[in-house]
């Protein structure tokens, strides 16, 4: 396993939800973690600022990107393509920008772990943006794992996970949505952020894992 003690990791999206749990999981293992998001002054859509931000961080070992949970839904004929493009700009292009800006600073033996989502490979009407955006990210992960080798590049693909991404829903609607989803899933539960964070730890630690998409979705893809 890649030793984590005293490693440095950057978690973009580390101020909330899955990213915060990844940051906690790494810190418990002695990793120095830099948690970044717009709340800390880092916006993945601002390319020049992103490059300067990585220069200011200096060398580090592991890049994790979990940012970009919002995307417009609705039937495709009526989909707001500008809103879809804006979602792509954060999650897809933002991840790509972060990887490109980070590469010069990632030490030998380091890794990159991006975030997809189960809709990448589950065709569900009304989810064009998430499906297309996450499928593009998964293809990118495999290409970059090949092109950037020996730097390892992976993605974690969460299923429905109980995070702040659903904070805008009224509490009763959120609870009903989560329990209905849990009842449909083979695992019988919706993931907690810690369940998903364990997948990032696996991808970061295991020196033989690259070009891999790790599904942590309660079985959503086989239901």
Q: Which residues bind ligand NAP (CB under 6 A)?
A: 12-13, 15-19, 37-39, 42-45, 66-69, 90-91, 94, 115, 117, 158, 160-161, 163-165
**Nearer Cβ to ligand NAP (103/177):** 177
Alpha-carbon Rg for the chain in angstroms: 17
**Nearer Cβ to ligand NAP (86/103):** 86
User: What does the CA dihedral 214, 219, 222, 223 come to, rounded to 10 degrees?
Assistant: -150
Closest distance between ligand NAP and the C-beta of residue 179, in Å? 14
Q: Are 64 and 196 in contact (CB under 8 A)?
A: no
Strand runs labelled E in 54-180:
60-65, 106-115, 152-158
Quote the tokens at residue 111: 């890794």
List, in order, residues 6 or more apart from 211 with CB less than 8 Å away.
141, 142, 145, 146, 153, 154
Closest distance between ligand NAP and the C-beta of residue 19, in Å? 5
**Nearer Cβ to ligand NAP (3/85):** 85
d(CA 154, CA 213): 6
**Nearer Cβ to ligand NAP (37/111):** 37
Closest distance between ligand NAP and the C-beta of residue 220, in Å? 9
Closest distance between ligand NAP and the C-beta of residue 176, in Å? 15
How is the chain split among helix, strand and coil, in percent rounded to 5? 50, 15, 35
Q: How far is CA 7 from CA 10, 33, 88, 106, 127, in A?
A: 10, 9, 31, 11, 38
Closest distance between ligand NAP and the C-beta of residue 78, in Å? 22
**Nearer Cβ to ligand NAP (106/190):** 190
Q: Give the nearest residue (CB) to ligand NAP.
A: 17
Q: Are 13 and 38 in contact (CB under 8 A)?
A: no
Closest distance between ligand NAP and the C-beta of residue 3, in Å? 27
**Nearer Cβ to ligand NAP (66/140):** 66
């Amino acid at each position: 396993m890649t030793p984590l003690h005293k490693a440095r990791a950057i978690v973009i999206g580390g101020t909330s939800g899955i990213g915060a749990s990844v940051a906690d999981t790494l810190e418990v293992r002695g990793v120095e973690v830099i948690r970044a998001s717009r709340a800390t002054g880092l916006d993945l859509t601002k390319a020049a600022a992103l490059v300067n931000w990585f220069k200011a961080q200096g060398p580090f070992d592991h890049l994790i990107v979990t940012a970009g949970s919002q995307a417009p839904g609705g039937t495709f004929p009526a989909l707001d393509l500008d809103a879809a493009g804006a979602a792509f700009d954060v999650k897809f292009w933002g991840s790509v920008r972060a990887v490109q800006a980070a590469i010069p600073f990632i030490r030998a033996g380091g890794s990159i772990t991006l975030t997809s989502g189960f809709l990448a490979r589950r065709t569900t009407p009304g989810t064009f943006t998430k499906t297309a955006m996450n499928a593009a990210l998964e293809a990118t992960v495999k290409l970059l794992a090949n092109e950037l080798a020996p730097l390892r590049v992976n993605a974690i693909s969460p299923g429905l996970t109980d995070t702040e991404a659903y904070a805008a829903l009224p509490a009763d609607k959120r609870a009903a949505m989560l329990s209905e989803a849990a009842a449909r899933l083979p695992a019988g539960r919706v993931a907690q952020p810690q369940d998903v964070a364990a997948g990032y730890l696996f991808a970061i630690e295991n020196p033989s894992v690259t070009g891999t998409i790790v599904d942590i979705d309660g079985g959503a893809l086989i239901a």
